[in-house]
Amino acid sequence: MAPKAGKTGDKSKAKALKAAKAVKRSTWRQSRKPRYSTVFHRPKTFEAPRKPKFPRLSAPSAQKLDHFQIIKFPLTTESAMKKIEDNNTLVFIVDVRSNKRQIKEAVARLYDIQTQKINTLIRPDGAKKAYVRLTTDYDALDVANKIGII
């Protein structure tokens, strides 16, 4: 006996039509992701940590300016002598890369004297000149004799 054409037949027929339609066109639809920024940022990718085969520097570099390199020599010109006598000031030629704090520390280490203030200038020949004003505890003439300027 043949099956009755009823509800089961309609359902299977509708299912078959739906399957045929799906085969004709793909069921997957691409939805567009909303973009909230006007500029494009490249996504972050994996960055492997560095694994060097050898160190780039073989040894740490030594300090470039020590107190012997900072102070080159004292000036013994007439104007420098006048500064020693009148202003209690010593005049040195120092390294161009040194600053006032370094000069002050170098003078204190080399000559065991305290300084009141330091003025610096760069001469036209490119050397740096430092005027080292001593505190009232020290006499520039005595220090100059000790150094060997006078």
pLDDT tens digits along 33-60: 888 999 999 999 999 999 999 988 888 8
Residue 23's pLDDT band (boundaries 50, 70, 90)? confident
Residue 106's pLDDT band (boundaries 50, 70, 90)? very high
CA distances in angstroms from 51 to 45, 46, 48, 84, listed in the order given? 18, 15, 9, 60
Q: Is pLDDT larger for residue 24 or for residue 70?
A: 70
- Mean pLDDT for the chain overall: 90
Cα-to-chain-centroid distance, residue 99: 19
Q: What is the pTM of this model?
A: 0.61
